[in-house]
Amino acid sequence: MSFHVVLIGPPGSGKSSVGRALSKALQVDFVDTDVLIEEDQKKSVAQIFIDEGEPHFRAIEERICCEAISRATGIISLGGGAVLSLGVQDALLNSHAKVVFLDVTLSVAAPRVGFNRDRPLLLTNPRAQWQQLMDARRPIYESLATITCEVGDLSVAKIVDQLLAKVSS
């Protein structure tokens, strides 16, 4: 059986760790679009924001995400803001992928993100910024999702168990 699963959600929702664990359980490939962007550009996401600015980052992100989605196999973790792109939204809607929204609250995301890591959009007043991003994006995450998982305080293993049942049906 082939699996095509795309994980969406805000920073700190666990897209990368859940995606990696899910790909191991299903024995399929896993890609994280931030990593693909960094390999393509040969610099970190933070450095791209500094050197070229957010619009440039978003253009590269759109291309890389659309390419990844069109490959139609395996597990993809999308950067938290990738769904802002109409191109990415279209690619998701036109794919047969199961789109999993990892829904998370600020209190769960905050310790995970640490708000001390390399996240250019969360540099000043990170908690308020995170909440603002989530409030603005929630309708998009919800409209694209075919599966929603309330992360709460569930472990990665528990989330993967829940998702295995849902993505296999």
The reply to whether 45 sits near ligand S3P by the rule CB under 6 A is yes
Q: How far is CA 78 from the centre of its chain?
A: 3
Check: CB of residue 80 under 8 Å from CB of residue 9.
yes
Residue 4 φ/ψ, nearest 5 degrees: -135, 105
Number of residues that bind ligand S3P (CB under 6 A): 11
Cα–Cα distance, 68 to 91 (Å, whole number): 10
Cα Rg of the chain (Å, integer): 15
Listed ranges 23-31, 93-101, 115-123, 143-151: which one lies at the site for ligand S3P (CB under 6 A): 115-123
The reply to whether 11 sits near ligand S3P by the rule CB under 6 A is yes
Check: CB of residue 14 under 8 Å from CB of residue 104.
yes
Q: Which is nearer to ligand S3P, 98 or 119 (CB)?
A: 119
- Applying CB under 6 A, which of residues 14, 19, 74, 81 lies at the interface with ligand S3P? 81
The reply to whether 76 sits near ligand S3P by the rule CB under 6 A is no
Q: Which is nearer to ligand S3P, 2 or 111 (CB)?
A: 111
Structure tokens at 53: 């600015």
**Which spans of this chain sit near ligand S3P (rule: CB under 6 A)?**
11, 15, 34, 45, 79-81, 119-121, 133
